[in-house]
Structure 1
Amino acid sequence: MLFPRLADPDTAEAVRFGDRGLNYSELATTARAVAGSLSATRGPVAVHAEPRIETAVAVIAALHAGVPAVPVNPASGPAELAHILGDSTPTGVLCAPDTALPDALTGLSRIEVSAPQDTRTLAADLPEPSTSAAALVVYTSGTTGPPKGAVLSRGALAATLDALASAWRWSGEDVVVHGLPLFHVHGLVLGVLGPLRRGGTACHLGRFSPEATATALRAWSGSRPTMLFGVPTMYRRLADSAETDTTVADALRTARLLVSGSAALPVREHDRITRLTGQRVIERYGMTETLMNTSLRVDGPHRPGTVGVPLDGVDLRIVDDEGAPITTLDGTSIGEIQVRGPNLFTGYLNRPEATAESFDGDWFRTGDMATVDGDGFVRIVGRKATDLISSGGYKIGACEIENALLEHPAVAEAAVTGQQDTDLGERIVAWVVPRDTPPAAEELIDHVSGTLAPHKRPRVVHFVDALPRNELGKVTKTALRDQHR
């Protein structure tokens, strides 16, 4: 069963969103009541994935009914929403009673989720679907084309969550605190379904802020161990706040585990968090199609700048441009990550050709470039399409240069892209958000040259007020390139 504690529920708290909470009995009752209305449904149902307790209930209900849930970003534009609805063809949309749906969703059957539900409306028990049954259809970010719906099975969810439980010593005693969006794997699968599979508590902030995070951590400290999930931009804001507000630093010290994902956490932020709180941030690596692939382990060495080692059950290799496995694991040879294991998606919805192209035999081509050292620790250097720069005959990872730029005291944020160059093939372009007065471009170029090999220095430096980011805080480098053009 995906959620054993929901099969024999009690009064322990299951989910909390702000000042609203449901215990396991209330969640089981409410989800089963909604599931009863879905039992005759064929095909997927959309979930208007607002950061509120009804979203958690809606997804649990769909899983209980054996109906694939399609989490929809409530901020999706009309074109993106039309594409997702046209591709997944949901039979209805689950939402809170007071939700004002966008026009594109109003044509679907509206299934309202009230929490908590009166026990007298409890639906009859439904059979547990098979592990191969589709659980979620999560759409990719669409950075290389229209978003594709990754079909995730119940077995894949269980496999990835159980592997993380081993790596993090995650138990039913843990409370997971986060403020992540619920239409992506990080916030929904890890941040909500993960605690419920363990029999613990999911505590969603509703809206992230350092102050709200500190309040939630303090509320649980002393009674339950806490795990904080976040993305690099959140940890940067937490570090900024902890520099001046000791209550934030003190609250972070109470956490059992700090976990960062969805993008690389710069080494500078690792160092700041440790200096301010004494805590070490654990990074993990995954993507929509594979769920989680690697992680640092709580009982293993801490190596900032890496995403740890493959999780239990996951095979990982890096391959060269011809697809041949790189067997020299020296921590410097760069190749594309390929993975296989029970955590992989079933395929892209209605896209058999795209599914076939994404596999090399039974190995999934991630499109992420990395090095692996002799101990199996993986260091991501960036996306093959946007972060691997071929300059002067060298393959250069953008992340390495970004980390070097962030070590300069005048740099608040940095991103690196490649630009076509008739001599070098590609020239390295740096995009820098300064802390105050921008330093001279030559000063930053010299700084990188003094930190890394000279061929990795930027040839162009742009100073900008902010870097374009998506909902999970990842820099959208295609937008930077478009801006340059």
Structure 2
Amino acid sequence: MRLLNWLSESTDERPDAIRIDDRVVSWVELRRLACAVADDLRGVDRVAVEATASLETVVGVVGALLAGAAVVPVPPDSGPVERGHILRDSAAGALLVPAHGGGPDESPGPPTVPVDLSRRSDTVHPEPDPADTALILYTSGTTGAPKGAVLSRRAVAACLDGLADAWAWTPDDLLVHGLPLFHVHGLVLGVLGPLRLGGRLHHVGRPRPQRYAAAAGTLYFGVPTVWSRIVADPDAARALRGARLLVSGSAALPAAVFDDLATLTGHHAVERYGMTETLITVSARADGPRRPGTVGLPLPGVRTRVVDEQGGAVAADGVAMGELQVCGPTLFDGYLNRPDADAATRTPDGWFRTGDVATIGPDGWHRIVGRAATDLIKSGGYRIGAGEVEDALLAHPDVREAAVVGTPHPDLGQQVTAYVVGDGVDEAELIDFVARQLSAHKRPRQVRLVDALPRNALGKVQKTRLAAD
């Protein structure tokens, strides 16, 4: 089966199969546009793409994949240092840019190739080997320069087929989202998913509640920030009642937002878990329960385990915490040019160390506590999950956002420190509020009131920036 099976075989000429903001193309037209790009990329092994939320990006990515090249998305907001690193490290042989992007690019880097939406081609390009690289996705670079995660065509296909099984994703679906097109969530799931599995796609541009409401989709993707803004607009939220499935990912969905979504839309959101290096590995199912704060069961073919700091098995009791490790067909092939980083993330028996702390219940359901480096707080001999304290803070009616980290403490080792965006609240009130809900050792010892939390393009709170304060 071809990686982009639906796109490759569809004869559907309905004009609105793919809608990016307000521009639409049919399946047949998208294929012909992408084939014209593929014709231009013969012999190029790696292709960088200016990954804006645009039809040119979709056509460029698809064209490169049809040509058998590895796609290297370049975030549009990357600064010159990050951009230069991605282009040099990936050794991209070409850079796809919109044809209307202005004059020739004089900056150092690979030659630019315009994505010209006035050109069509009917060339049939041979399907590459499933083991060939589909994507080189650069990580956020929180521990140094961004690393290129090499993902095979086989891994991408395994991920999407697993999600089709879990979410009952069919060609009858209309997927709606407004996510960036340089990450797994927006690009792999949100663009390549429909191109492999079928179903129309509507990328709304900026993910405003009103745009989600007006799209009349059956399947919606969002990050917690999107869903929290939607529940803050009850009319927009109620407009999603006709959907089949609401999916949240890229960060933990606060329990309060999960409950508000259920009340306003009639849907319990599906949460799932994955990383750039693993793609999506664990998810709740369309035909099963959805529980706030949990991410469900492993996808077909994926195995998981939770281990302690010595590598020993942790009890599957839903309480004991340890590092989540993953094994299965969705895993990446390694970091480009970084054998040292590869060795650090692999166990001797071939499992991938996610660096995330999790629990697994007796029924196999997973709960992600957070990153070991920032979300597992070791205070006075206790192991405290930051997410539990954050949920307690968010239950306060005047708290809008909360992030909890461990900060150095001379006696406890680490203390629980909370950063809160709120209305008319004070530190003592919030500490007492949490102490009434959780064990005394879990209460924040310090609450810092801030105007905003630092977030990345997917809405994830950048806790390393908070912990560095």
Say yes or no: TM over 0.5.
yes
Residues 1:389 and 2:381 aligned together: no
Cα distance, 1:132–1:22 mapped onto 2, change above 3 Å: same
Which residue in 2 is equivalent to 1:407? 395
Q: What fraction of aligned residue pairs are identical, expressed as a percent?
A: 54
The 8 Å contact of residues 387 and 398 in structure 1, kept in 2 or not, is answered as yes
Which residue in 1 is equivalent to 2:51? 49
Structure 1 residue 107: Cα displacement: 3.9
Structure 1 residue 6: Cα displacement: 2.5
Which residue in 2 is equivalent to 1:343? 330
Count of aligned positions: 465
Structure 1 residue 183: Cα displacement: 0.6
**Of 394, 408, 420, which residue of structure 1 is paired with 2:408?**
420
Larger CA deviation: 152-161 vs 354-363: 354-363
Instruction: Report the secondary structure of 2:144's partner residue.
Output: coil
State the one-letter code of the partner of 1:83.
Answer: H
Structure 1 CA distance for aligned equivalents of residues 105 and 336 of structure 2? 24
Cα distance, 1:104–1:153 mapped onto 2, change above 3 Å: farther
Residues 1:290 and 2:278 aligned together: yes
Structure 1 residue 321: Cα displacement: 0.5
State the one-letter code of the partner of 1:422.
Answer: P
Structure 1 CA distance for aligned equivalents of residues 198 and 220 of structure 2? 17
User: Which string of whole-angstrom CA distances, capped at 9 and with x for unpartnered residues, describes residues 81-107 of structure 1?
Assistant: 111112111111112112259978664
Which residue in 1 is equivalent to 2:437? 451
User: Which string of whole-angstrom CA distances, capped at 9 and with x for unpartnered residues, describes residues 351-406 of structure 1?
Assistant: 11211211112100000001110011111111011111100001111011000100
Structure 1 residue 54: Cα displacement: 0.9
Which residue in 1 is equivalent to 2:250? 262
Which residue in 2 is equivalent to 1:6? 7
**Of 35, 60, 63, which residue of structure 2 is paired with 1:61?**
63
Which residue in 2 is equivalent to 1:84? 86
Which residue in 1 is equivalent to 2:34? 31
Cα distance, 1:125–1:474 mapped onto 2, change above 3 Å: same
Instruction: Report the secondary structure of 2:232's partner residue.
Output: helix
Which residue in 2 is equivalent to 1:223? none
Residues 1:230 and 2:230 aligned together: no
**Of 327, 334, 339, which residue of structure 2 is paired with 1:352?**
339
State the one-letter code of the partner of 1:329.
Answer: A
Which residue in 2 is equivalent to 1:199? 198
Structure 1 residue 176: Cα displacement: 0.8
Larger CA deviation: 98-107 vs 256-265: 98-107
State the one-letter code of the partner of 1:8.
Answer: E
State the one-letter code of the partner of 1:464.
Answer: V
Query: So what's the TM-score if we normalise by structure 2?
Result: 0.97
User: Which string of whole-angstrom CA distances, capped at 9 and with x for unpartnered residues, describes residues 323-359 of structure 1?
Assistant: 1122x21111000000000000000001112112111
Cα distance, 1:157–1:93 mapped onto 2, change above 3 Å: same
The 8 Å contact of residues 87 and 110 in structure 2, kept in 1 or not, is answered as no
The 8 Å contact of residues 27 and 116 in structure 1, kept in 2 or not, is answered as no
Structure 2 CA distance for aligned equivalents of residues 275 and 441 of structure 1? 31
Residues 1:15 and 2:1 aligned together: no
**Of 239, 254, 263, which residue of structure 2 is paired with 1:251?**
239
Which residue in 1 is equivalent to 2:135? 136
Structure 2 CA distance for aligned equivalents of residues 380 and 48 of structure 1? 32
What are the within-5 Å matches in structure 2 for residues 274-289 of structure 1? 274-289=262-277
| RMSD, aligned α-carbons | 1.5
Structure 2 CA distance for aligned equivalents of residues 263 and 102 of structure 1? 39
Structure 1 CA distance for aligned equivalents of residues 70 and 185 of structure 2? 18
Structure 1 CA distance for aligned equivalents of residues 312 and 334 of structure 2? 24
Which residue in 2 is equivalent to 1:160? 159
Structure 2 CA distance for aligned equivalents of residues 202 and 116 of structure 1? 21
Structure 2 CA distance for aligned equivalents of residues 393 and 67 of structure 1? 51
Structure 1 residue 440: Cα displacement: 2.6
Gap regions ≥5 residues in structure 1: 221-225
Structure 1 residue 45: Cα displacement: 0.9
Structure 1 CA distance for aligned equivalents of residues 313 and 105 of structure 2? 49
Which residue in 2 is equivalent to 1:208? 207
Structure 1 CA distance for aligned equivalents of residues 463 and 163 of structure 2? 30
Residues 1:333 and 2:334 aligned together: no
**Of 439, 451, 461, which residue of structure 2 is paired with 1:465?**
451
Structure 1 CA distance for aligned equivalents of residues 447 and 455 of structure 2? 19
Which residue in 2 is equivalent to 1:71? 73
Cα distance, 1:116–1:299 mapped onto 2, change above 3 Å: farther
Which residue in 2 is equivalent to 1:126? 125
Structure 2 CA distance for aligned equivalents of residues 200 and 181 of structure 1? 20
Structure 2 CA distance for aligned equivalents of residues 261 and 100 of structure 1? 36
Instruction: Report the secondary structure of 2:436's partner residue.
Output: helix
The 8 Å contact of residues 15 and 203 in structure 1, kept in 2 or not, is answered as yes
Query: So what's the TM-score if we normalise by structure 1?
Result: 0.93
Structure 2 CA distance for aligned equivalents of residues 101 and 144 of structure 1? 36
Structure 1 residue 9: Cα displacement: 2.8
Structure 2 CA distance for aligned equivalents of residues 428 and 57 of structure 1? 47
Cα distance, 1:172–1:116 mapped onto 2, change above 3 Å: farther
Structure 1 residue 278: Cα displacement: 1.4
State the one-letter code of the partner of 1:32.
Answer: C
